[in-house]
Amino acid sequence: MSNIKFRILFALLFISAIALLSYLRDIDRTSFNGNLFFWCLFVGIIIAAIDGSLGMAYGVAGTAFLLGYGISPVKAVAYIHIAEIFVSGSTGLSHWKEGNVNYKLFKKLLVPGIFGALIGALIISKVKIPYLSMILSFYLLFMGIFLLIKAFRKIKVYFKQKNSSIIPLAATGGFIDAAGGGGWGPVVTTTLLSSKMEPRKVIGTVNASEFFINLTSAIALLLLIKITDWEALAGLILGGFLIAPFTAKVTRKISIKLMLIIIGLLIIFLSLRKIFLFFI
């Protein structure tokens, strides 16, 4: 069986498992929302292509879109993390095959990153936070501005690759990623790129570890919340799978700077729109 067929089959099986879980837990099973499905399919393709080239921005872009569409903050974060399992797994495997993974750094990132993600998932799903949607919108606005600045200048952060530095970095990245819908790449990758390690090793290692961070967040959120918008989840997953085999070819023809500008402006627009609607 070809790699593409295997990915599609695995995605369909996972979607079926989500649907079965929804049935067993007596979750809302309203009629099929085709508009939501196709919008999320389109968005899934776009953000997966961006993530494949930048090694970041899948979570923040996807969460910003789902919030703008009207999906609740907790569910938006959950859907993005569940869908991102497949995207991060695919890119992580590709980096592993290309020899872009530093196993020593990978081990240092893994445990504290998983711990931070678990805490973040528990807090966002179980702690009642007033104006959570507004808080997430401001966070995503900041991330959009961050990506826009990164497109025009190098952001330098003093960093030494020591256990005492990597543990809090990974824990913070995991927590922010799980609680905010995205942030592992922008927080961890950007900081580590300021170290002396080869950039491709940094990006490859962070992407490989991201799969386990997403898996932790997804499992925790899947068990803690009810899935009501399975069309959104199905669209995001299928979109990522459809574009994954072609990401490298597509992104070679588009400059990273241009993609950072586009996705940064998009996140800023969606966040400002959500903030504006909150006040009117």
Segment 20-59, tens digit of pLDDT: 455 444 444 456 677 888 888 888 888 887 776 666 778 8
pLDDT band with cut points at 50, 70 and 90 for residue 280: low
Using a cut of 0.85, tell me whether the model's pTM lies above it.
no
Whether 70 is in a domain gets the answer: yes
Residue 146 has pLDDT above 70, yes or no: yes
pLDDT at position 13 is 54
Confidence of residue 124 (pLDDT cuts 50, 70, 90): confident
Mean pLDDT for 135-163 is 70
Look at residue 93 and tell me if it is in a domain: yes
Q: Domain containing 90: what range? A: 3-27+45-279
Inform me whether the pLDDT recorded for 110 exceeds 90. yes
Residue 128 lies in a domain: yes
pLDDT for the residue numbered 159: 45
Q: Does 61 map to a domain? A: yes
Tell me, yes or no, whether 234 lies in a domain. Answer: yes
The single residue listed with the structure tokens 């919030």 is 67
Q: Report how many domains make up the chain.
A: 1
Q: Examine residue 38 and state whether it is found in any structural domain, yes or no.
A: no
Tell me if 56 is assigned to some domain.
yes
Q: Establish if 34 belongs to a structural domain.
A: no
In the predicted structure, residue 109 carries a pLDDT above the cut 90: yes
